[in-house]
Amino acid sequence: MTNYHGQIHLSLAGFYDVLTDDGKMMRTRARGNFRKKGLTPLVGDFVEFSADADQDGYLLKIDARKNGLVRPPVANVDQAILVTAVKLPNFSTNLLDRQLVALEEDGIEPIIYFTKTDLLTAIEFDALSEIVTGYRLAGYQVILPQSAFDKPSLTSLREILNQGLSVVMGQTGAGKSTLLNHLDPTLALATGEVSQALSRGKHTTRQVSLVAMGQGWVADTPGFSTFEVFKMEARDLTKYFREINYYARNCRFRGCVHLNEPDCAVKVAVTAGEIMQSRYDNYKLFYDLIEGRRPVYNKHDKKH
């Protein structure tokens, strides 16, 4: 038996195809003790395994993950393309900001890609352009196609995908599969074929795999994570809004949460138009949601 190290590139029915560090794809299975320990290998995991020539190998160890997503089930993600429709379904800053906060917490770099911009009137497109400027000033990469899947937008996205491990996510109907098909027509992903009768909970994808995109890798199963739960403490939320975190350095009080405190630099920046009102409103909304779920006995916990 020879020991190898590599990254899982395909997960299917209990088998895991691992691309070894020296560039060889080998099929493996997880030993029973993985189940006993409650460990499920994910695409993107770096693993050690042993194998004989021409036989399936056995996974021995999963390296520590830097992050792990549920939908799609992928580990060690570097960046996420947030496919965001401007219409059908209608654009929501609330949903986009939820997604951004969740990705920030997981240490995943978000790239916002707007779809269906051809459905906008000239006035609506100008209004969206202002919002895009706000997100760019906040520190996010945003791709705003002039027309659906135009060449400059796809070229920009291919450059971004040319490194690391990326996932494509967003609401159902936002155009994730269509975008991937434009990036790589050989994928031929089914678009719009998920029956409306199927509830989200029942929709399962049996196969997850990574496909090469230049020097990078992309999970070819678009995820539609809903990001309904915030895991952080309310006082930590400020860290996951980039521009709020930036201006917070100038607040008078070190533990300022930018709600009712005096001399709050964040509120000054909102008034001055340096932070989008919608971003600040969503920050307050998320803060209240997190506070609302706390057990009563935590109310007087000492703040760190």
**Residues annotated in a binding site for GTP:** 115-118, 170-178
> How many CB atoms within 10 Å of residue 32?
8
The H or E element spanning position 216 is strand 216-219
271-276: long-range contacts (C-beta < 8 A, 24 or more apart)?
A: 274/137, 274/243, 274/247, 275/138, 275/243, 275/244, 275/247, 276/131, 276/134, 276/135, 276/138
Q: How far apart are CA 129 and CA 246, in angstroms?
A: 23
* Angle at which helices 277-292 and 122-137 cross, to 10°: 60
Burial bucket for residue 207 (CB in 10 Å: 0-12, 13-18, 19+): exposed
- Please enumerate, by residue number, every residue annotated as part of a binding site for Zn(2+): 251, 256, 258, 264
* Strand 165-169 with 109-115, pairing: unpaired
Nearest Cα to Cα of residue 282 among 81, 100, 130, 87: 100
Find out whether 196 and 172 touch, Cβ atoms under 8 Å. Answer: no
Q: How far apart are CA 126 and CA 202, in angstroms?
A: 39
The H or E element spanning position 29 is strand 25-30
- Please enumerate, by residue number, every residue annotated as part of a binding site: 115-118, 170-178, 251, 256, 258, 264
User: Tokens 């790589």 label which residue?
Assistant: 184
* Angle at which helices 93-106 and 277-292 cross, to 10°: 70
The H or E element spanning position 286 is helix 277-292
The H or E element spanning position 167 is strand 165-169
Angle (nearest 5°) at CA 234 between 255 and 140: 90
